[in-house]
Amino acid sequence: MQRDLTLIDQQYCCKSCQVAHWPKHKQDCNHEYNKPYWQPAWVRERRDPAYVLASAPAVTYGSARQSRYLWGNVPAIDCLCLSPQESASSSGLDLNICFAAAGDIRNLVSTINGLPNDYSGHCRILLNDLDPCVITRNLLILHALLRPGPSIEMAAETALHLWYSAILRSSDAAELYFSAEAVYKSVDLQAAADASFVNILELRGKSLLSASLSMNNLASLGVLMSKYNVSAALNSMREIMTAPSRVDYRDRHLASLKPAHRVAWARNRRIGALLPFSADASAFTEPNRSMFTPTGEWMTMDNANQLYGWPTSAVLQSGQRNGLDGADIWGCLFVHVREQLAEMARRVERFHIDIYITQMDAKELAASIKCGAYPGFSSDCFDRIETSNVVDCIGLDRVLDDWGPLLRRDKRASLLAYTMNWHVNRPGPSDHRVHGRLVEKAARALNVDLSKLMQARFMNPMDMSLRAQLLTLDFYKDAFDDNAQSFNEWLNEQKSTPTARKHGLRMRAKNRIHPKRFGVPLGAGPRDVPDMTPEDFYNTYVVGGADAPVRFMEFEVI
């Protein structure tokens, strides 16, 4: 009987490569995670995992000191997602796109790369986030990528490391400081804290980058003035990312991964740089100060994972095109992000794309646009408005009230939103038969023989490894739950229909830009559930980290 939930005991590298580079390979190839029958610590220690105990903390991840979302945890979305017919008819149109609570720049990158290849219009993009640290990072990464001067290939790799690596090459660190000086050099440091400043920077081609920020944003620049060294930075990162108190939560994720991907996960956290396995990391000698506090404390949560920001299938395809094995999944991510950034830079150079960066509460930004505070943006002007999961903070009705009037009165215009928390405090299926069917579907998706597993569990009720497999199946069963009725009740509580109608909008019965939930086709209805191969399920939910309850909504003009 299968003893773990791995799908393929895929080796991290071929034997000839191991022999040729054994000193580099030894630490990873001999890692305990590379053993096919590795088990979580709680299984080896014959105890209950922390996440099933009644005393489990309400907040089950992250640092108690400084926790920020510096990397996206939902795969990048092309917010245009134009069909071939739409692409042909949109090639000459002027477009206005708003990212109301952007987080990082992954959706911006994917959307620009989704423009028609022969685009000749003027695309104006408003990129906003409330967090000064997040928006400062976005601004500096974009400037490093898009400024005239460096080759596109060099700029793309630098931007990648500024975004995803905890440690940098000296050239990357120099670019970070260069971009900060370029962006903030004209700022009046004596201005009042509640004042604002605007700086317009030239990009490749005829495009522009405009920053309209509060003077309070300058506080985030304090991280660049810090003096801690790279060893202190890496120690702080590892202290958070591999905290002993969080071992059971990490092991729950690792137990479902292929051995090679467990090793890749561990290596990524050990070296702190996003690189292919074969790459030499010795040149990475500087901390990425944009990811640490001024005193050198790591700022992301311990479950932050660069892979969660991109579709795993696309990441693996990029790796394959570049000759990388799928086992080296962080190497595949490296080449995928580098390609995406380089393509975006080429498009900014070739097209006319202006990017406007603001740092405001999303509601206040919408009100400011309605009042004419941002020339060129006004009511009825946006072809796409992407609001992230702001609905989880203020409610869907308020999001529609704030942003509905700003959508262009055009049948192709779309307001996008998703919710991660709609299911909280809502009862799940109470019928044990329904629960059993969901577990059966999870077993098929994870390539587990459930009947043999249950038989073995009956014969060996004290076998902790068998219990671990059952807990894993229970964890993933929600991916197959048809909870459309419960979600519809939530929509009614949010007054979605009357609020949308008040602004001349309606929610699409079938989405056109992003599927309604992870693992279903784009045109799926609200009751459709994933019907996936084990490989697709692994890529989406296991290594890709998809959160089953997330629901994506699209609103269009009536």
* Rounded Cα–Cα distance for residues 450 and 439 (Å): 9
What are 344's two structure tokens?
Answer: 């975006």
Please tell me the predicted confidence (pLDDT) of residue 21: 55
pLDDT in tens, 86-141: 888 889 999 999 999 999 999 999 999 999 999 999 999 999 999 999 999 999 99
Please tell me the predicted confidence (pLDDT) of residue 321: 96
Residue 226 reports pLDDT greater than 50: yes
pLDDT in tens, 36-82: 889 999 999 999 999 998 666 544 455 445 578 999 999 999 999 99
Q: Alpha helix (H) ranges present in 351-495?
A: 362-370, 391-394, 396-403, 432-445, 450-459, 464-476, 484-493
Please tell me the predicted confidence (pLDDT) of residue 68: 86
Neighbours of 371 (CB within 10 A): 9
pLDDT in tens, 20-45: 555 665 666 778 888 888 999 999 99
Q: Alpha helix (H) ranges present in 299-448?
A: 312-321, 329-350, 362-370, 391-394, 396-403, 432-445
Q: Which of 419, 393, 410 is nearest to 402 (CA)?
A: 393
Asked if residues 148 and 204 have their Cβ atoms less than 8 Å apart, the reply is yes
CA 96 to chain centroid, in Å, comes to 23
List the beta bridge partners of residue 68.
Answer: 300
* Rounded Cα–Cα distance for residues 292 and 136 (Å): 13
pLDDT in tens, 498-537: 999 999 999 999 999 999 999 999 999 999 999 999 999 9
Residue 279 reports pLDDT greater than 80: yes
Coil, helix or strand for 179?
Answer: helix
In this structure, the strands spanning 551-557 and 122-128 are: unpaired
Residue 340 reports pLDDT greater than 50: yes
- Once rounded to an integer, what is the mean pLDDT over residues 259-282? 94
Residue 160 reports pLDDT greater than 50: yes
Residue 143 reports pLDDT greater than 80: yes
Sorted by sequence, the CB contacts under 8 Å of residue 362 that are 6+ apart come out as 100, 101, 128, 130, 387, 390, 402, 403
Q: Which of 73, 105, 160, 185 is nearest to 355 (CA)?
A: 105
Please tell me the predicted confidence (pLDDT) of residue 237: 95
Please tell me the predicted confidence (pLDDT) of residue 81: 95
CA 9 to chain centroid, in Å, comes to 27
- Once rounded to an integer, what is the mean pLDDT over residues 157-167? 98
DSSP 500-545: HHHTTEEE-SS-SSS-SSTTS-TT--TT------HHHHIIIIISS-
Asked if residues 505 and 219 have their Cβ atoms less than 8 Å apart, the reply is no
Please tell me the predicted confidence (pLDDT) of residue 1: 31
- Once rounded to an integer, what is the mean pLDDT over residues 270-295? 94
Mean pLDDT of the chain: 90
Query: Sorting pLDDT into bands at 50, 70 and 90, what band is 6?
Result: very low
